[in-house]
């Protein structure tokens, strides 16, 4: 596989799909290879071809390729005419689901060992696609079913990804309206012993909201990368936003810092994002003391609170665009609708739970596109050993 990886790294960024096809033809007798990337709305998987893009997208949730994407497991499709086997392999980079690699093999070729080797190839290709995205627009353009607004372009470039996974946790997150998002954002940073997560809701719409959120997230990252504590990260970001806007606009932010050894969580609730915990069959909102949003007042002091997570816990953070959205009839989506979806998706992966919450919200509003931004971040906690299970979870 190291030889394969070196050959993938050696080609120009745009040539990865063609090179993958050639390598799979040489090594596995592949007759056809298609790289499919998930669109921003997570509705379809689109084939990557040289510009202008051609090829028909397939569902990201149904059919063999969609099943491979949602389940994150290989799916073998038996084709009668011509007699071949189409192997659909999920492409995921450190927990961030990118798409699916579909490989057509001669009939009878897809034994277990072959599928495992193809899975390793798909992972190697995924890493190269993620890296190549820094140097070409090919893969970003392949993710679009239509044009992004400028505000959405800025927001998607600001995100760390849509998922992240380690032995201790798995994160899946989603934004809507995917092609017109303005002020909502999620962010994370993983270290040897800690994980920091933020969910931010910038006031306003469109470019103004995107600029505000960009400033807020950049200020939070700047403070975090300086090694500053969580409360001081909020305080410095608050000062940056206030210095720029003088309190006329502000950004609501939830900041969380997890100790990977103990499950202890430090939290700063600076505004509207809400946090729910699922433990077993119980669903509870973690009540944190609400503090002022970032940038509302000059030099606002912030205080940290603590709670604890245990192995098997699921945390779901939502922006005000989820819990504060009403239907055309004026019915609030609210906690009841959210709890129903969280209970129904308790055993599904975090990525699918985040998507399901947004899908439920869209169904509630009765509109194809949401009128306000909505962000959902779902985190499954495994922790490290028995130490994580000590103590009783609960905000203090």
Q: 1-143, which class in CATH?
A: alpha beta
Position 55 scores a pLDDT of 74
Task: For 226-253, write each residue's pLDDT tens digit.
Answer: 999 999 999 999 999 999 999 999 999 9
Position 389 scores a pLDDT of 39
CA end-to-end span of the chain, whole Å? 50
Partner residues linked to 308 by β-bridges: 264
Q: What residue has token string 């040289």?
A: 50
Radius of gyration of the chain (CA): 22
3-state secondary structure 157-208: HHCCCCEEEECCEEEEEEEECCCCCCCEEEEEEECCCEEEEEEEEECCCHHH
DSSP label at residue 55: S
Interacting residues of 336 by C-beta distance below 8 A, sequence separation 6+: none
Cβ atoms of 316 and 278 closer than 8 Å: yes
Residue 108 to residues 25, 112, 275: CA-CA distances in angstroms? 16, 11, 49
Residue 234's nearest CA partner among 274, 182, 184, 199 is 199
Position 277 scores a pLDDT of 97
Given a cut of 50, the residues of the chain with pLDDT beneath it are: 386-396
Position 323 scores a pLDDT of 75
Position 387 scores a pLDDT of 43
Structure tokens at 327: 């239907």
* Beta-carbon count within 10 A of 70 CB: 20
Structure tokens at 1: 């596989």
Partner residues linked to 85 by β-bridges: 78, 105
Task: For 24-64, write each residue's pLDDT tens digit.
Answer: 999 999 999 999 999 999 999 999 987 666 678 999 999 99
Position 363 scores a pLDDT of 83
Position 372 scores a pLDDT of 85
Cβ atoms of 316 and 350 closer than 8 Å: no
User: Where are the chain's structural domains?
Assistant: 1-143, 150-381
CATH code for 150-381? 3.60.40.10
CA distance 30 to 277: 46
Residue 87 to residues 57, 60, 94, 114, 139: CA-CA distances in angstroms? 17, 16, 22, 10, 22
């Amino acid at each position: 596989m190291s030889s394969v990886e070196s050959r993938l790294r050696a080609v120009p960024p745009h040539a990865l799909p063609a090179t993958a096809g050639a390598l799979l033809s040489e090594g596995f007798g592949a007759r056809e290879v298609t790289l499919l990337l998930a669109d921003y709305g997570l509705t379809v998987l689109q084939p990557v071809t040289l510009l202008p893009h051609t090829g028909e997208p397939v569902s990201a949730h149904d059919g063999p390729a969609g099943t491979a994407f949602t389940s994150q497991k290989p799916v073998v499709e038996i084709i009668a005419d011509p007699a071949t086997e189409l192997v659909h392999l999920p492409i995921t980079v450190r927990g961030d689901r990118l798409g699916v690699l579909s490989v057509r093999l001669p009939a009878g070729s897809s034994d277990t060992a072959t599928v495992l080797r193809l899975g390793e190839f798909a992972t190697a290709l995924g890493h190269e696609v993620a890296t190549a995205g820094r140097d070409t627009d090919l893969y970003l353009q392949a993710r679009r079913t239509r044009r992004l607004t400028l505000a959405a372009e800025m927001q998607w470039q600001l995100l760390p990804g849509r998922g992240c996974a380690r032995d201790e946790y798995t994160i899946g997150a989603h934004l809507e309206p995917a092609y017109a998002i303005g002020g909502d954002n999620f962010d994370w940073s993983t270290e040897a012993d800690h994980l920091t997560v933020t969910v931010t809701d910038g006031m306003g719409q469109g470019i103004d909201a995107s600029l505000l959120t960009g400033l807020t997230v950049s200020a939070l990252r700047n403070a975090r990368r300086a090694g500053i504590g969580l409360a001081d990260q909020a305080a410095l970001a608050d000062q940056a936003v206030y210095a720029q806007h003088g309190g006329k606009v502000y950004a609501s932010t939830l900041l969380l810092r997890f100790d990977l050894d103990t499950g202890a969580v430090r939290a700063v609730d600076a505004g509207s994002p809400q946090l729910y915990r699922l433990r077993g069959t119980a669903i509870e909102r973690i009540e944190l003391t609400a503090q002022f949003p970032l940038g509302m007042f000059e030099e606002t002091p912030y205080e940290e609170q603590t709670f604890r997570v245990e192995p098997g816990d699921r945390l779901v953070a939502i922006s005000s665009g989820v819990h504060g959205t009403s239907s055309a009839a004026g019915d609030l989506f609210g906690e009841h609708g959210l709890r129903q979806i969280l209970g129904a998706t308790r055993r599904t992966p975090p990525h699918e739970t985040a998507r399901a919450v947004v899908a439920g919200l869209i169904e509630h509003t009765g509109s194809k596109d949401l009128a306000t931004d909505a962000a959902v971040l779902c985190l499954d906690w495994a922790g490290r050993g028995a130490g994580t299970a000590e103590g009783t979870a609960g905000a203090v």
